[in-house]
Amino acid sequence: MAFVAAVTKKSSIARGIKRPSTPYLLLIPGLAWLFLFFVYPLINLASTSTQTPAASGEIGAYVQSFRFANYFDAISGAKEQFIRSIIYALIATVVALVISYPLAYAIAFKSGKWKNLLLVLVVAPFFTSFLLRTIAWKQILGDQGPVVTVLRFLHILSPQTGLTASAFAVVTGMTYNFLPFMTLPLYASLERIDPRVLEAAGDLYANAITTFRKVTFPLSMPGVVAGTLLTFIPAAGDYINATLLGNPRTKMIGNVIESRFFEIVDYPTAAALSFLLMAAILVLVAVYVRRSGTEELV
């Protein structure tokens, strides 16, 4: 009875003690930042997307009329660029995965003492401006650049054919610029694989291809999913590569949104296209994550 009384007394004292408020106070700066620079802009963008031109006819003057038909008008006028953006982003993501997986595998399992140096080289492009890196590709793929020179020497390209101002140049620039976003998650996932698991597969008479297909690749799926998402999402909304490396026939939805905001000053259409792009990406990401069996990542 004395033990029960002591336990009851301690529990009553514990109930009387208030939980410390410090953890909640520490959340305030982060929540304020999130509201000011994410939630509020989204609310403002949603409000702008349903506006109509003011009666005064002044450029850039709009009033709230809750015209949801703006979304249908926006997508009907930019359907081609919208589809092109998704296709370019998918191609860039697949190419980046094909390039990054062997690279990440080599760094994780074969690099030895050079591992840190190779990781620095992967991250090194981030030390240079995104804009400068894209302009550099304009020079690399130019008519006098090394790529075109070699391809013409091998008679793969004719003397009149170039690579700049083309869909190939746009996808190449996107792949290069977002390659580290693919490589680093893959490396992190592969590096966590216990080598003894791979040795066990060999002990069970699995060859290298079977070990990779049945063990290595499934265990690295979280890195594959994370890398593809980190590459596809910014690539779908990119407009720098299409502006510098493309032509009018390779414009993406990001170019349309940028021109609507800053050149045509059609804020409702630009806001509607932005929301439609976000919605399309969210749907594609949700389907992809669910099909890949890694729902815990989102």
- The arithmetic mean of pLDDT across residues 44-66, rounded, is 89
Residue range 220-247: average pLDDT?
A: 93
273, two tokens = 């296209």
Q: Which pLDDT score, from 0 to 100, does residue 3 have?
A: 47
Which amino acid is present at 174? Answer: M
In the prediction, which pLDDT does 221 show? 92
Query: According to the model, what pLDDT value does residue 94 have?
Result: 96
Is the pLDDT at 8 greater than 60? The verdict is no
Domain ranges of the chain: 78-297
Out of 24-28, 144-148, 241-245, 288-292, pick the least confident: 288-292
Is residue 18's pLDDT more than 80?
no
pTM, two decimals, is 0.86
Percentage of residues of the chain with pLDDT beyond 90: 62
Q: What is the mean pLDDT of residues 128-149?
A: 90
pLDDT of residue 111: 86
Average pLDDT over residues 15-19: 56
Using DSSP's 3-state secondary structure scheme, residue 31 falls into helix
Token pair of 165 as six digits: 């101002």
Residue with tokens 């999130």: 34
**pLDDT attached to residue 39:** 94
Contact at 8 Å (CB) between 243 and 170? Answer: no
> What is the rounded distance in angstroms from the CA atom of residue 45 to the CA atom of residue 262?
15
Asked if residues 191 and 157 have their Cβ atoms less than 8 Å apart, the reply is no
Identify the band that residue 134 occupies on the pLDDT scale cut at 50, 70 and 90: very high
| Cα distance from N-terminal residue to C-terminal residue, the chain | 51
Residue type, 91: I
**Any idea which residue has 């009149």 for tokens?**
160
Q: What is the pLDDT of residues 78-110, one digit of tens each?
A: 999 999 999 999 999 999 999 999 999 999 998
Mean pLDDT of the chain: 88
- For residue 78, the one-letter residue type is A
Higher pLDDT, 275 or 23: 275
> Tokens at residue 59, please?
């450029």
Whose tokens are 């999913």? That residue is 225
- Report pLDDT digits (tens) over 163-209: 888 999 999 999 999 999 999 999 999 999 988 888 888 888 888 89
- Structure tokens given for 180: 């580290």
| Residue 139 to residues 189, 221, 294, Cα–Cα distance (Å) | 35, 36, 40
State which amino acid sits at residue 149: T
* Pick among 1.10.357.10, 1.10.3720.10, 3.10.180.10, 3.40.50.10190: CATH of 78-297: 1.10.3720.10
Question: Does residue 102 or residue 57 have the better pLDDT?
Answer: 102
Describe the crossing of helices 179-191 and 167-177 by its angle, rounded to 10 degrees: 40
Predicted pLDDT at 199: 86
Strand pairing of 62-64 and 51-53? antiparallel
